[in-house]
Amino acid sequence: MNLEGGCACGAIRYELTGKPLIVHACHCRDCQRLSGSAFVVNLWMERKSVRASGAAPQSFRLKGGSGQAHDVFFCADCGTYLWSRYHGAPGDALFVRGGTLDTPEAVRPDVHIFTRSKVPWLELPKEARAFREFYKTSEVWPQESLARIGRARS
């Protein structure tokens, strides 16, 4: 079954018609600020696999950690941040915020990133893969995801 989600007021709904390439728990300062929380669960999705319905999301642009643009999409009525587009990320991708899923418990982070700014009271599971900043996709992604993004690029 496809995962579904939406903003807090219900004006925007979405359906994920494919599996995430990978799921990040991002502890960077932008994610902390944008969510008002300790970290964000981001589903790295191919854009074509995110089917939005209802109101059109609005966006604003920040400068991402890589120095490249980071567009944040949100609901104009309730302000919920639904997904981001990082121009530095390979492929045509959207980063969907796991907390906006109807069933956030359905996904689990594959990898924790930017743990250099992780809040100290949060202890990651011992077996968790974690990086102080980012990682090399070729070393961390499942083969299947690498193949998918390869196809998307060519």
Of 108 and 147, nearer to Zn ion (C-beta) is 108
**Shortest distance, position 74 Cβ to Zn ion, whole Å:** 8
Of 60 and 143, nearer to Zn ion (C-beta) is 60
Work out whether 96 is an interface residue with Zn ion (CB under 5 A): no
Token pair in block for residue 134: 């980012």
Token pair in block for residue 21: 């390439």
**Shortest distance, position 5 Cβ to Zn ion, whole Å:** 12
Region near Zn ion per CB under 5 A, out of 6-14, 66-74, 115-123, 125-133: 6-14
Identify which of 61, 72, 125, 75 has the alpha carbon closest to the alpha carbon of residue 95. 72
CA–CA dist 140, 122 (Å, integer): 23
Which listed residue (78, 124, 146, 152) binds Zn ion by CB under 5 A? Answer: 78
DSSP string, 46-94: EGGGEEEEESPPEEEEEE-TTSSEEEEEE-TTT--EEEEEETTSSSSEE
Which listed residue (21, 26, 72, 101) binds Zn ion by CB under 5 A? Answer: 26
Work out whether 28 is an interface residue with Zn ion (CB under 5 A): yes
Of 90 and 150, nearer to Zn ion (C-beta) is 90
